[in-house]
Structure formats: C-alpha cells, structure tokens
Structure 1
Amino acid sequence: MTLTPMTRPTPPAPPALTRTPAAAAVGRRALLGAAGLGGLAAVTLPTDAASAAPRSRVSPFDLDFEVVDRQRRLDLLADRFVTLRDSFTDGGGRYDVLAPRGRAGAVARGGGEVRIGGREHSTLLRSTSRQDAPYAAVVVDVAAFSGDTTRDRVLAGLAKGAGDHLLAWYDRATGTVGIDLTVGGTTETLGTAEADLQAPFQLAFAVTSTTVVAFADTGSGPVPLVKATLDERLDLREPANLRTWTNSFGAESGSGTVVLDRVRAGYFGQLGLRDPHLVTHADGAPYIRDGKVYLTFTQAGLAFFETAHWGVWTLDLETYRLEQVANLFFQRDGRDLVLGDHAGHLVRDDANRRWIVTNSTWGDFANDSVEINYTTLRSSTDVLRGVHVLRTRQLRLPTSELPSEAVGQWDPHVVKIEGRWYVGFVNARRFFDFYPALARSPRGADFTNLSLVGADASKVETEGTVLQRFGGRWYVLASNGDANAAEIRGQYPVYDLQMKQLGILDAPHPTNIPWPMIIPVAERNRTRWLLVTFNGTQYYEPLLGYGTHGDTIVMEAQRTKGVEFPRSR
C-alpha cells in the first residue's frame, strides 16, 4: 500500500440538519395511524400511568427540537486514561533498554529530552505501563533525527521483550512509515506507506481490538498513514498478552543521535462518538450530578464495529462540554478475551442496591450474530469512574414470539414502570434488516424474566430504541434508516407501550440512523428538553473504512411547564 501522508482525504459533506419533508408535512402535533406490526398482534396493556403524580402535561408531539451544538471528539489518547507520561526530566519513567536488532545505543535523558544514539544501533525502551484492554495508543514527540542516510527510525508501540514487539515506525532515511510485528524473533512487516515527515512531529501507534494504525501529527491533528490487521498472528485480547505487552518506544540509526522530547501512552480514546445513551435511575430519571448529565457512548475505533468500545461521559448542561470519565470492557461466552462490547444502557437501581449493565455484543462482530448481554454490580461499584473489565452473560429475550427467525438483538433500554421492568431492543431478521421491539416482566419479577409486548416488524432498518416519559406517560422512540420506504425514512417514530405507532418526533435527523436520546432536565417548575445524537461523518474513510463516525449533536426544544423527573436537576 502506498499512501502519501499529510494529504487529508476530503471527508464527505455532513448531511443537512433539517427536518425531513415527511415530518414537516405531518406536523409535530399530528398523530399518525399505526405503522403496522407486520402480522404480529400487539399485546393489549392497560393505560400506563406515571410512577408518581404527573408534574407536566407535555407529549412528545408538543416538542420542536433544534440543533444548538455540534462537536467532534477525536482523541488517540483518552485524557483521563494516560498510563505513561514522560517529558524526560530527571524524575521520569523507568524502562528496560532492549535491542530488537543487533545492539542497543546509548540512552541519555534529562533537560526535557531523551537522546538515543551511537554507532549502528536498534534501541527500544520498554516501560512497565500497560492497559487492561487491547485499546491503546503510544504517542512520541520527535524533536530531531540523526541524519543518517541508511537508517533513521523512530519507534512506538507495545513490547514483551527484545524478540516480541508490535511497532509503528517512521524511517526518515527512506521516507517510509510502517507497522512491524515481531514474535519469537521473527519480524513481519504488516504494511508500509510513503511519507515525508520533518521533525518536530508526533508519531503515534494505536490498536483497537485486532486493528493497528500508524499516525503522524505535524500540528494539524493526527493523520492515519498505515492500517494493518493482526488476524491470527497475535491476540492482544488475551489477558496473558495484556499483562506482558507494555508501552514502548525507541529509535534505530546507522549513526548519530535521535532526540525525543516527550512520550505518552494509555487507553485509546475515539475517532468519533455514536449511540448516546442516558445513564438513568430505575424509574427512568436522568443521572445528573453537579450540573452534568451522564451518558454512555460507543467510541469509534480504527475500523468497523468490532474495533469500537464503550465509555461513560459527562455532558455539561450549560456549556455542552463532553468529558470521558470511565472505560468499560467486557468478557463473556466463557472466554477470557477482553472485548469492546457497546451500544447499551447503565441503570442505577437503588431499590436493589445495584447497577444494571446491558449492552450489545459487537466487540467481536463477524457478520454472524449479536446478542444483548448483561451483568449486575453492587451499587458501591463506581462504574462511572475509571477502567472496568466486566463479565457478562446473555439476556434471554422473547424473540421466539416474533414473526421471523432472528440473527441478533441490540440497543437495550431498561426501565421500571409501575412494578414491571420494560426492555426495549432491536430485533434483526438478518444483517442488516431490523426493527424495534418491547418486552416486559411480570409485576414484581426481575428484568431477566421477560415476555413480548409487541414490535414493529414493518420496519426494515429502525434502531436506537429508547423509552422516555413525557407528561407522566411512557413512550418508545426509535429512528428510521435509509433502507425504509421513502415516505418514512429519516423519521423518529414514536410508539406507545403496546408498540403502536402514534406519530413522529419533530427533530432533525442528521444521519442514517441517529438515536433519539431525549433528556428531560428539571429547572424549578419547568422541564428543559435536550436531545443528544450523532451524525455519520467518517474520519479518513478511504484508509480506515466505515465505522469511524460521528460528530456529537445536541438539540434543544422549548421548555415546558411542570417537572417530569424532580430529581433530574
């Protein structure tokens, strides 16, 4: 592969943030007829009442959402999850000095730089810092090259020892950037590209699951230059490898001295954010602390869905500033592989002194199946802070009652309404043909004991299932993708708790299937209505492929009288 760096691929133009003609024609207070259940009879339920006396009288059709903020969070390194930070002062990190090829050079540090040089040498500095998941980045600030015309390399990556390392490198002598994997002393070059990089600049190594990318940043942001897949060569998802392959960097030269002035390493951040899901209490109230609402996001990795992972973020309700506060990884299926499952829901269930964690098993997706998994944690577990590797199991859903054989379920939303647990989810007939569904427990039973309420099997690409209360009444919301019929695509359908479609939400639909994540915030005797979603803007799609979207989009509707959830302040 040959790719000239620093020529930034032109990203696709972001879709216009306007309402669809269909939505405008219907009007936000008009009720649509039932969209049809595709032959599935809806289960009749009694009219739902709020778990407490309604404090507002609004319905979703009274709200008119407009975009108020749009931002792109792009971080190779997650700010709060740096495990190595060394500016090469006298009190910096400690390293094993390895010689991957031949002999190691002389290493001198201090005064804000490390100098690696001498006669022909290959020098790798292996730190003790590591990550508990195969989502990592190592960023090296290059101050000066040696000037040797035969070999003049900077290295960044992970290493187990002198004969076992995975490195991104740039060779100034040859104008080449590449990715090498060495196992048991045998080196395989997984990919190279032409590059013309002048010091100072940053060389970065990043891995998400089984995909590795070399980046360079000359001051305008990180640019991916080479992408490779580990396949069966090395599985960094294995805990044994995670414990022994640590953050490393170095230099190789035929002569002279390479100068580096900083290294940072830690958990990979994200190339984009999608699938925003509100962290809630069991009754559906938003989890808000100190003026910040908590959400989970799918954090886009270096390639398709299996390279993404899940994180917890706060959104400042005044400035809309996003800040990541937790990384969540998972083990399942009786295996110890650490995976980046995502697209789920965190619920604080105070009555049972626990957290409920549900998500979708996209972390090793290979076009075969996706399930909804879950675990429960003691309420004392601070799942909203730090790094967690959680073991989950499958949530058994009543899919046998649906009108077609399913290949997967995803996008869970869990809420307790009048003593019953409700679980909204997406059911897939095949990849990618899917529709929203709703299950519930018997009164007094747990969320794991479910029977089908209904589904809208007339849809063929509708996901992002969420439940939300308006005016004391509960509704199910979703998002219609482009594969649906022209007259309904680009809409947010609104259902009752029998999965009968009542109408559509009046809000911009900025990409194929943006989630309608609505957040009611109590402000004295009024409710402020926010909607957080995402768009489909990719990052260097020609090299990385689909899966690196998107921008975070915040919308706001007019404030309404009354308080939906008194605790949501």
Structure 2
Amino acid sequence: MAARDMDRRTLLRHAGAAGAAGALSALFGNVPAMGQPATTPFDLHFAVTHKHRPFDLVAPRFVQYDSAIAPPPATSGTLVSTGVRPRAPFGSVLVEVQRAEGVVVAGLAGGATSVLGTLDATAGRATIEVTTGGATTVVKSAEVRVTGAFRFAVVVNENAVTVLVDTTGTGTGWQPVLTERDGVRALVDLRVPAVLGGLDYVYGGRGGDVRLGRVRAGYFGQAGVRDPHVVQHADGRPFIRDGKLYLTMTNAGLGFFQQAHWAVWTIDLADPSELEQVAVLFFERDGVVVGDHAGQIVYDDRTGRFILLMSSWGDFAFRGVHIRHTTTTANVLRGVHVLRTERLPLPTAVSSWDPALTRVDDRWHLAFVESEAQQPAFVFHPALAVAAPGADYTRTRLVGADTAVDQTEGTILQRVGREWYLFASDGDARNYPVYDLAMRKLGTLDAPYGTNIPHPMLLPVGREWWLITFDGTQYAEPVLGYGGHGDLIVMRSPL
C-alpha cells in the first residue's frame, strides 16, 4: 500500500513492513487550582466550536525578500539573486507571472550549484532541475497547462522540491504540479549547512519574453498543522502574553514527515480563530539541519531557561524514532532559531516520541510514547517516567506504560481540579484515554474523535475548558502523498 493511500493510523501500522498573576487569573480563573476543585476530566463534555486550516507557502512574519520593496531588474534571460537565503532547507519563492513567452524559473542557487523549478507555459511543461559541478539534471517533469497571467511557486521542504501554480490570480488557489525528493537528494543534500549556506533565493526567466510582477521569498509556512502542545511554565501554567496563548505545532510540509517542521504560534483567547505564527524552530544534529517536530516547550522559572523537547521525525526513514532535547536562555518564542540538540535519556530501550514534561510536587514528570516494534507493524502506547525530587528532567525512571493498547499517542500532562492526569489518543478505540500518575486507566474523555490520531491538548480558559487538536484532512494528496494534513480544531466544555 502506498503511503499516499494511508491515513496516519494505517501508515504507522504498516509502514515498517510569563504574565502578571492578576492577568492570568482573569483569563484562567483560579490558576493554581487549574479549575474548580471538584472538577474531574469526566465532568467535561466537549463540542467542536472552531475549525481552521492555516495555509501559507511563505509564513507571513517570515518574508525575507519582497520585490515590491526592492524592484528587480529585467527578468527575460536573467536569473535574479535576492541576496538572502534560509537558515534551514525550508523556504519558498512566490512569483507573479504577467507574461510567460519563455521559461519562468525560481528556487535556490549559488556558484555552481542550484536547485530550481521551471515552467514553460508555451510548451506546457514544468521541471525540477539540479545543477552540481556545472552539470544540470532534470530530476522530474510534468505537463502543465496555464494561460494568461498566473502565479508560480517553488518550495523546498528538507530535500523535497515542489512546483506549484495558482491560476486564480489571488494567491489562494495554489496547486502542486510536481514534487521530488529522492532525485534531488541523490545529487545534493540541502540539509548540510555548508551547502545551503551558499545558495540564495533566485528567480527569473529564460528566453522569450518573461515578465514578472511581485516576487516574495522566505521561510515556508504550512499546508496544515498538527500536534498542538501549549507552551507552559514548569508547574503547568500555560504561557500567556497580552491575552494570547503560546503553543507549538507541527507545520505540515508538502509531503511526508521529513518535509514538516516545528513552529511557535499564538492563539487569541478571545477569538480562537485568530492564529499567528511567531517563531520557526529548526535543529542541527549529525551534521545536518532538520525539521524535528511533535514536542513541547517548557519555561523553567527557577533557572530562566527554555526546555525544548521534540521527536526525531525530521529524518524519519522507518528505522526508529527518539526524543531529543536542548535548553536555552534565548527567546525561542520569537524569530528563527537553529538549535543543537541531544538525544534525551529515557527509561526505555525502544523508540519514543510525543514528549510531555511538567514538574509536579518538585518532581519532573515526563510522559511519552513508547514503540517497542516497527516490524511487521508499528506498535505504540503511552508511558510515564518521573525524576527524583529536585533531580533534573534528564534523570527519570519508568512509572508505567499501557501496553494493552498499540495505536495510542499524543501524550499530554494536565491538572484538572485537584489531580494531575495523563491524556492520550487511542487510534484503535477512537477515543481519548485518561490515566492517573500511576498509569492506571480511569476512563475516557467525552469529546468528538475525528480522523487521524488527534492529540487531546486540554487547558482551562476562564469558566471553560478547551481541547485543541487537529484532524487528518490532507492537502493535494494525489500529487504530494501522505503527510500534508492538519485542520486545527478547537473544542469547548463549560465547567
């Protein structure tokens, strides 16, 4: 079965064969108690209130070049270098094409190396071509029919290159016409800093009469979002500034897991449809820069450091997954960051992902997903580890795991009323199991369960509880295959 024909559950089964206290209280009621003392998870009854699909080929806050600010020279027969480049191989060039009696070109180039997408409207052909050492190879091509003015985009996600066209003239009708990863990677590895560091965003025309309008370039945004996890203080309080909740999400790329990356977003607590991406996070390890994702950011007030934990999906090749981590005093909630990470020591000898970290009663508690088998099928379940009083989160012992389930992920630690709980998502049972901190299953949440394996990110908001999650709605799956999924979903429950 091809990956593009699978949903998340089927894929994983078979693929292996700080604000003021007063402000916080106003938003979240009695913050230290995390809601009414008598409340339990089973008093909550959720209904979907918002559903939204973030989609941006260039993240709005992360435009690096705009020809409307610096008008370009003539483009016919010219390849224009913008003089700017991404710090990680996740970038896009968007071109308004006014006339294309020739070949439109965009991508990354520098010296004797280039990775470009082209579109010849007259011949009706788009290509992806790679030049190394002066030799140019067309790694993929496709028939494309466009007339009149249109928009053209070339997106790089890791080593995958995608050509898109928008014939609506609005910039809202982007459709991919071809994509290629393996053929690009066979010739060049854009994850290597020394390679990417020599390549600028470029655009232009070849032959004939190519006339371009506005051109923008910058960091790739997202085809959807998934894996929401609230940025929190070490004691579990959500990180809020100016009425906006900070959370991390996996930004779906134009294809499989390696094409995704991690970002920090804000959501307006007065209007959950108001989303804004405020930071982009990439990670350097093993000599390359990747888009590891599906993790959590914790701000430790005692040390003034941010703790970042993430899953190693950035180079996933069906040979296992593990949790990585780093700490920093840099403000990772704003801007672009490339951070070095290390493998997190865990009390397990098997694969792991979806970390959730909170300090409860002076002891770090770390929930995660444990996957003891990948062949002939993926098997994964929730687990919980705990550190000794006063010890660091890197020194934990296993409390327990629910080995009775084998398609359960999305671990979340949250206090409801007086007690702390571990929440997860069971793709087989299609529900959200609830555990205590001894890993005893207590029941399930009363909440709609959509497609994919949606993570139950719970938090109290005033006199309500919210559950922020996602679904498996794909983007352009016939061209891109599995991985471009994620409508953001917000559910609410009154107390």
**Given the two structures, how large is their TM-score scaled by the length of structure 2?**
0.90
Distance 2:32 2:283 in 1: 33
Pair 1:77-2:58 in alignment: yes
Pair 1:508-2:463 in alignment: no
Distance 2:236 2:109 in 1: 45
Aligned to 1:176: 125
Q: Secondary structure at the match of 1:296?
A: strand
Which has the larger Rg? 1
2:432 is aligned, of 471, 486, 492, to: 492
Distance 1:319 1:242 in 2: 39
How is 1:43-442 mapped onto 2 (pairs within 5 angstroms)?
A: 56-87=37-68, 92=70, 115-117=74-76, 122-146=77-101, 152-161=102-111, 163-219=112-168, 220-229=172-181, 230-253=184-207, 255=208, 257-320=209-272, 321-332=274-285, 335-378=286-329, 381-400=330-349, 406=350, 408-431=351-374, 432-442=378-388
Q: CA deviation at 1:377?
A: 1.0
Residue 52 and residue 533 in structure 1: after superposition, are their counterparts in 2 closer, same or farther (change >3 A)?
closer
Residue 51 and residue 455 in structure 1: after superposition, are their counterparts in 2 closer, same or farther (change >3 A)?
farther
Amino acid in structure 2 at the alignment position of 1:358: L
In the alignment, is the contact (CA less than 8 A) between 1:123 and 1:252 conserved in 2?
A: yes
Q: CA deviation at 1:369?
A: 1.4
Q: Secondary structure at the match of 2:422?
A: strand
Aligned to 1:517: 457
Distance 1:79 1:52 in 2: 37
Distance 1:425 1:51 in 2: 25
Question: What's the CA shift string for 1:485-531, capped at 9, x where partnerless?
Answer: xxxx101000000000001000011113100001112x3xxx32111
Question: What's the CA shift string for 1:296-341, capped at 9, x where partnerless?
Answer: 0011112111111000000111221111000000012xx2310100
Distance 1:305 1:69 in 2: 26
Residue 368 and residue 12 in structure 1: after superposition, are their counterparts in 2 closer, same or farther (change >3 A)?
closer
Amino acid in structure 1 at the alignment position of 2:484: T
Question: What's the CA shift string for 1:328-372, capped at 9, x where partnerless?
Answer: 00012xx23101000001001001221111010111010001111
Q: CA deviation at 1:291?
A: 1.1
Distance 1:369 1:411 in 2: 14
Q: CA deviation at 1:54?
A: 7.8
Q: CA deviation at 1:12?
A: 11
Q: Secondary structure at the match of 2:314?
A: helix
Distance 1:160 1:296 in 2: 33
Q: Secondary structure at the match of 1:399?
A: coil
In the alignment, is the contact (CA less than 8 A) between 1:51 and 1:417 conserved in 2?
A: no
Distance 2:233 2:450 in 1: 28
In the alignment, is the contact (CA less than 8 A) between 2:62 and 2:219 conserved in 1?
A: yes
Q: CA deviation at 1:116?
A: 3.1
Aligned to 1:450: 396
Distance 1:416 1:236 in 2: 38
Q: Secondary structure at the match of 1:76?
A: coil
Aligned to 2:476: 540
In the alignment, is the contact (CA less than 8 A) between 1:490 and 1:512 conserved in 2?
A: no
Q: Secondary structure at the match of 1:426?
A: strand
**Given the two structures, how large is their TM-score scaled by the length of structure 1?**
0.78
Q: CA deviation at 1:232?
A: 2.6
Q: CA deviation at 1:78?
A: 0.6
Distance 1:543 1:476 in 2: 38
Distance 2:414 2:6 in 1: 33
Distance 1:499 1:76 in 2: 41
Q: CA deviation at 1:166?
A: 1.2
The worse-fitting range, judged by mean Cα deviation, of 391-400 and 532-541 is 391-400
In the alignment, is the contact (CA less than 8 A) between 2:58 and 2:221 conserved in 1?
A: yes
Distance 1:331 1:458 in 2: 36
Question: What's the CA shift string for 1:80-104, capped at 9, x where partnerless?
Answer: 11111112xxx616xxxxxxxxxxx
RMSD in angstroms over aligned alpha carbons?
1.8
Aligned to 1:17: none
Residue 548 and residue 53 in structure 1: after superposition, are their counterparts in 2 closer, same or farther (change >3 A)?
closer
Question: What's the CA shift string for 1:181-200, capped at 9, x where partnerless?
Answer: 11122111111111111231
Pair 1:551-2:472 in alignment: no
In the alignment, is the contact (CA less than 8 A) between 1:137 and 1:205 conserved in 2?
A: yes
Q: Secondary structure at the match of 2:197?
A: helix
In the alignment, is the contact (CA less than 8 A) between 1:51 and 1:418 conserved in 2?
A: no
Distance 2:148 2:269 in 1: 41
Residue 413 and residue 252 in structure 1: after superposition, are their counterparts in 2 closer, same or farther (change >3 A)?
same
Tell me, which stretches of 5 or more residues in structure 1 are unaligned?
A: 1-10, 14-49, 94-108, 147-151, 401-405, 561-569
Question: What's the CA shift string for 1:257-286, capped at 9, x where partnerless?
Answer: 321111100101111100000101101111
Amino acid in structure 2 at the alignment position of 1:135: F
Distance 1:12 1:520 in 2: 34
Amino acid in structure 1 at the alignment position of 2:75: I
Amino acid in structure 1 at the alignment position of 2:70: G
Amino acid in structure 2 at the alignment position of 1:545: G
Question: What's the CA shift string for 1:41-70, capped at 9, x where partnerless?
Answer: xxxxxxxxx977985321000000000000
Q: Secondary structure at the match of 1:506?
A: coil
Amino acid in structure 1 at the alignment position of 2:96: D
Amino acid in structure 2 at the alignment position of 1:92: A
Q: CA deviation at 1:288?
A: 1.1
Distance 2:411 2:206 in 1: 52
In the alignment, is the contact (CA less than 8 A) between 2:34 and 2:415 conserved in 1?
A: no
Amino acid in structure 1 at the alignment position of 2:343: Q
Distance 1:446 1:172 in 2: 59
Q: CA deviation at 1:172?
A: 1.8
Amino acid in structure 2 at the alignment position of 1:201: F
In the alignment, is the contact (CA less than 8 A) between 2:34 and 2:416 conserved in 1?
A: no
Q: Secondary structure at the match of 1:80?
A: helix
